[in-house]
Chain A
C-alpha cells in the first residue's frame, strides 16, 4: 500500500481509531495484523520472508541471550547473519553477481552458462533485514536485553509506518515503546498530522512534479543539451530528497499519532557545509547503522590514517551496494568515500575558505554523486557528465512542470530555511491554534491544487 494512495487515506484513520479503542493488551497484536495487511497489498507471498526473518532472528537472539559460551554465541550470530544476508543476496544481488561474472569471463574470451533467478525484489527487504540483524547484533553485544514476547518482536520488524522504507529503527529505541501503554495525546496527534502533511507535500507537490522533468531528460539524455542535463541533475537532487524525506516524514508522523517515536531520518541535508555533515543529515538511520555495525567494528577512526581511509571507503562501498545491485550505486558509494578522505586530507585548506565555498563544494559533489545514482549504467553517467561539461545548448523548458516544480521548491526551501536558522520561531508559531489551522489547510489545498497524483511509488521502495 502506498502512503500517497487513496487506500492509505482510508486505512490509516481506521487503524488509529480501532487501535485507541482496543484494550492495551490487544493493541500490539492488532498493529501486527495491520502491518502484515499493509505489506501484503504488494506481493502477499513475500510476507513469508518477513515472518521467516523475524522468526530466525528472534530464536537466535533468545539462544544468544541464554548462553554464556562465547564461541557458541558467535557461531549463532554468524549463522544468523549468513541466513538473513543470504536471503537478501538471493533476491537482490545474485543475478547482478552472475551477470558481472559472465561479462568478466567474456572479456577473456570465455563463455559460461550461469543460471539466473526470475525473482521479484521484495519491497523493503533491505530495510527490515537490516533492522532485524541490528537487533541480533545488539543482543550479542549485550547492549540490549532479549525481547521475550514474539508478538512485540514481530511488530518491531514489521511495524507498518517504517516497514518498507525506514527509518531503520534500533531495537533499544522502538522495542521498549511496544511494551509501554499509550493514551491518545492531542499534542502528539496534531504534531503527527502536521509532519505527515509536510511529508505528503514533499512527495506529491515537489518530488513527483520535478520527476516529470528529470525523467523526460534522463530517459532521453542523448537528445538533451548539457544545460538541460545540469538542470535535471539539480532537480534530481531535490526529487530524491523530497521523495525519501517525504516518506520518512509520513512514517514518523503516522507513528507519532499512535504514540510511537521513530528516529529522525533527514535534517535538511542540503544545508550541510561538508560531506561529513551531509552524512549526519542524510538518511541518518542508515548512516548510523553502518557507523555502528560496519565502520566502528572495522576500527573506525581509532586506527592508523591508512586504515581509517580504508574503513571509510569500505563503509561507503557497502552503503552503495545496499542501495542496489548495480555498479552505479557502488560508484556513488565509492565517490562519497573519496569525498570524505579528500575532506580529511585538505581539512585546513577548507577551513580557510569559509562556509559558503564549503557549502558549494559539498553541493557540487553530492549532485555529481546523484548523477551516478540516477543513471542506468556507469557509461550513461559519464555521458551525462560529458554532455554537461562540453555539450551546451538550448535548455529544454517544460513550462508547466517547471513552474509548479519551482513553486514547490521555493516553499520547501523556505520551510527548511526557517527550521534550520529560526527553529525557535517555528516551534513558537507551531503552538498557536490559528497557525496550526493555517498550516494544515494551506498544505492540504496545495496538495490538492498542485500535487501530482499519479507519481507512483517512492524511489527507496526498490531498495
Chain B
C-alpha cells in the first residue's frame, strides 16, 4: 500500500473519531438544554410540552392550520373542559400520529383528541420527504418507541441518520433560545392568532392535482389504527377538516368521504367561504378562527 493511501486512511479515521466525539459531546449538551427548556419554560416549547406534560381534557393536534384555527379558550369556556392546542407549523401527519400514540399511552389521558387533517397530505406523491415534518420529534428518537417506529418506516437511510446526535438536534439551537426567552403558549392554550388585516384579503383559487394521484393507503390505515387505539384507551378521537380558501376538488372530496365513512369527520372544508376571514388561502385570521371554533364547539356538543 502506498504512503499516500496510508496517510489518507489515517486522516479519514482520525476525522471520523473526532466527528463521533464531537457528535456525542454536542448531543449531550443539547440533551441538557432540552431538559432545561422543558423544566424552565414547560409551556414555551410545544412539542416537548405535548410529548411530556400536556394534561388538558381536550387536545388539538395538527399542523399550522390547527394552531391558527382552534381557539382553546372558546372550547374551554363552552365545554367547561380544559383545552390545549398542540398544533405546530411545518409538521405532518406522521408527526401527529406519533403525538397521538404517545399521549394516549400516558397514565394521564385526555378525554378528547381533535386531529386536524390536511387532505392534501393524503395524496400519493413521488418526491415528498416524509421526514421533513418530523424533525421536531427527532430528539425523542432514542427513548420513544412510537417515534422510532415511524422513522424506521420511512426507510433505512432515515434510521442511519438518527445515529448522529447532531442530526437529531439539527436546527434546534435558535429554537431553544427562542423558547427560553419567547412566547409562553400556556397563556393562549397553544392557540396562535393571525392578526386581522383589511389589506390582506386572499382570493380563492383552484389547486391543480395530478389525476393519477391516489389516497395514501398507509395514512388511511394509520387513521383507523388511531381510532381503535383511542377507543381502547377510552379517548374520543375526533377528525376535523378545517377551512381552506381553495376550490374543493374531486380528490379532496374523496379523502373526506373515505375518512368520514371509516372514522367520521365533524366538519368539511367548504365550511367557510368568506375571504375576509382568511389570512391566506390555507389559514384563517383571528375572526375566522373564532367563528370556526364556535361552529366546531356546537358539533362537539352533539357527539360528546
Contacts and interface: CB of A to CB of B under 8 A. Distances in A.
Interface of A: 5-7, 20, 183-186, 189-190, 220, 223, 399-400, 403-404, 436-437, 440-441, 444-445, 448-454, 456
Nearest to A448: B166
A441 B175 CA distance: 24
28 contacts: A7-B157, A183-B4, A184-B8, A186-B4, A186-B5, A189-B4, A189-B8, A190-B8, A220-B280, A223-B200, A223-B202, A399-B174, A403-B174, A404-B171, A436-B11, A437-B18, A445-B19, A445-B26, A448-B23, A448-B167, A448-B170, A449-B26, A449-B170, A450-B170, A450-B173, A451-B170, A453-B167, A454-B129
B171 A184 contact: no
B74 interface: no
A interface, over-half SS: helix
A213 to B, nearest CB: 14
Nearest to A441: B18
A20 B127 CA distance: 35
Contacts of A404: 171, 174
Contact of A6 (B5, B160, B174): B160
A185 B4 contact: yes
A445 B166 contact: yes
Interface string B113-142: 000000000000001010110000000000
B4 A441 contact: no
B interface, over-half SS: helix
Given A186-B7, A220-B280, A445 B22 contact: yes
A456 B22 CA distance: 27
Contacts of B11: 186, 190, 436
A437 B4 CA distance: 17
Contacts of A444: 15, 19
Nearest to A185: B4
Given A183-B2, A186-B8, A448 B164 contact: yes
Interface in B1-27: 2-5, 7-8, 11, 14-15, 18-19, 22-23, 26
A247 to B, nearest CB: 18
B198 to A, nearest CB: 13
Contact of B280 (A223, A441, A451): A223
B161 interface: yes
A183 B26 CA distance: 38
A399 to B, nearest CB: 7
Contacts of A186: 3-5, 7-8, 11
A451 B161 CA distance: 13
B166 A449 contact: yes
B14 A437 contact: yes
Given A223-B280, A441-B18, A184 B5 contact: yes
Interface in B149-180: 157, 160-161, 164, 166-167, 169-171, 173-175, 178
Nearest to A6: B157
Top-10 shortest CB links A-B = A454-B129, A448-B166, A186-B4, A454-B132, A6-B157, A186-B7, A403-B174, A449-B166, A186-B8, A448-B167
A400 B8 contact: no
A184 B2 contact: yes
B281 to A, nearest CB: 8
A444 B19 CA distance: 8
Contacts of B280: 220, 223
Given A440-B15, A441-B15, A400 B129 contact: no
A400 B19 CA distance: 26
A439 to B, nearest CB: 10
A6 B161 CA distance: 8
Contacts of B131: 453-454
A185 B280 CA distance: 57
Contacts of A400: 171, 174-175, 178
B199 to A, nearest CB: 8
A197 to B, nearest CB: 11
Nearest to B7: A186
Interface in B32-51: none
A186 B7 CA distance: 7
Contact of B127 (A7, A190, A456): A456
Contacts of A20: 5
A80 to B, nearest CB: 35
A393 to B, nearest CB: 8
B118 to A, nearest CB: 17
A389 to B, nearest CB: 18
Contacts of A184: 2, 4-5, 8
